[in-house]
Amino acid sequence: MPIKRTDADLIAAAPGLLTRLGRHLSAVESGAAGAGDDLAAVLRILLDKTNPGNRGMARIAAAIGVDLPAVVVSGAPQLSGTALLMSFGNLPVVPAPGDGQPHTPRSLPFQEWVDTPSLVVPGSEKRRESWGSFSTLIANTGGAHLGTTYHDLLATSDLFQTLGLSLQDYLLRQIGWQVERVLADLIAHTGHGMIPRTRELTHWPRTPVWMVFRDQPGTGMEAAVSISVNDNSPLPIEVMRFVWRGRVNHLIHGGTGPDGKGLPARLVVDNPDTGEATATEGEPRPPGWKPPDDWHIIPK
């Protein structure tokens, strides 16, 4: 007959889960093929609420007898809007929380962070996904099952690349970093502290932590991106690219100027029909800025 898993068994399983999580995070960072699916499978064990055999973070915390700590995250995504193509937010950030408004960095209880809508694709079947359900969706598609369908939400995110990774792998890496840090903190309460394999959130010097894109057919693309910067190099870095309507869009962050202030980002659009590229300079904004209704339009 089945033997029920005890609290001691759950606590004993935690170091192995942390090791697996760190191993897959390192593989994602190195760009290994299939690493994102492996990472999603472990995140499903730790975050998924649809299966009582998962919910690992909550169950391990309860077995140890401690609360899951709060986490600091970026602004919330734009949940609606005319012509909204994609928006994401609630990614882990290093700076202290802002003024408490929804669009500024803030502190959230761990489970609230896992459950709140964080990736929005209005035109898809799964229009809003929390980070917990997003990682579970990827795990169920290819990480732990060979799914019979491929959701259109994933097809839309497939159009984007970030820092040399697919957007899916990048988002999973940032989610995984947050979970890894919290799981290591939980294990420390047992008297068997472990140093996470992946120690830095800022593995890359400039990372997107909030984004919204709106497509206006016949007019252009509207884009706003918040980038977390931890270097002061003046060299430009391509932080994101995406393919839309047959054109390749490169979002390039300009770096930091001699005065220590951020340089403008620019969007370079390659048109394969003409062989030409157009560039639009962005405008730096203060932390917590949200796009107004009368966004500047990036011409087609």
pLDDT score of 268 more than 80: yes
- What percentage of the chain exceeds 70 in pLDDT? 91
**What integer pLDDT is reported at residue 99 of this predicted model?**
63
**Segment 47-69, tens digit of pLDDT:** 999 888 899 999 999 999 999 99
pLDDT score of 297 more than 80: no
Q: What average pLDDT score do residues 271-295 get?
A: 73
**Residues near 292 by Cβ (< 8 Å), separated by ≥ 6?**
none
Q: What average pLDDT score do residues 222-232 get?
A: 84
Q: What average pLDDT score do residues 226-242 get?
A: 88
Lowest mean pLDDT among 2-6, 193-197, 259-263, 266-270: 259-263
**What integer pLDDT is reported at residue 300 of this predicted model?**
38
**What integer pLDDT is reported at residue 106 of this predicted model?**
87
Compare 192 and 7 and report the one with higher pLDDT. 7
**How high is the mean pLDDT of the chain?**
86
- CB–CB of 298/283 below 8 Å? no
- What percentage of the chain exceeds 90 in pLDDT? 45
The residues that bridge with 8 in the sheet, in sequence order, are none
Q: Assign 261 a pLDDT band (cuts: 50, 70, 90).
A: confident
Q: Assign 299 a pLDDT band (cuts: 50, 70, 90).
A: very low
C-alpha dist (Å) from residue 164 to 31, 105, 251: 8, 25, 12
Q: Assign 173 a pLDDT band (cuts: 50, 70, 90).
A: very high
pLDDT score of 275 more than 90: no
Rounded Cα distance, 280 and 270, in Å: 12
**Residues near 44 by Cβ (< 8 Å), separated by ≥ 6?**
54, 135, 136, 139, 140, 143, 144
| Domains of the chain, residue spans | 206-299
**Segment 71-120, tens digit of pLDDT:** 999 989 988 777 888 999 999 987 666 666 666 788 999 999 999 999 99
Residue 180: exposure state from Cβ atoms within 10 A (0-12, 13-18, ≥19): buried
**What integer pLDDT is reported at residue 276 of this predicted model?**
78
**What integer pLDDT is reported at residue 13 of this predicted model?**
94
Rounded Cα distance, 287 and 6, in Å: 46
**What integer pLDDT is reported at residue 100 of this predicted model?**
62
pLDDT score of 298 more than 60: no
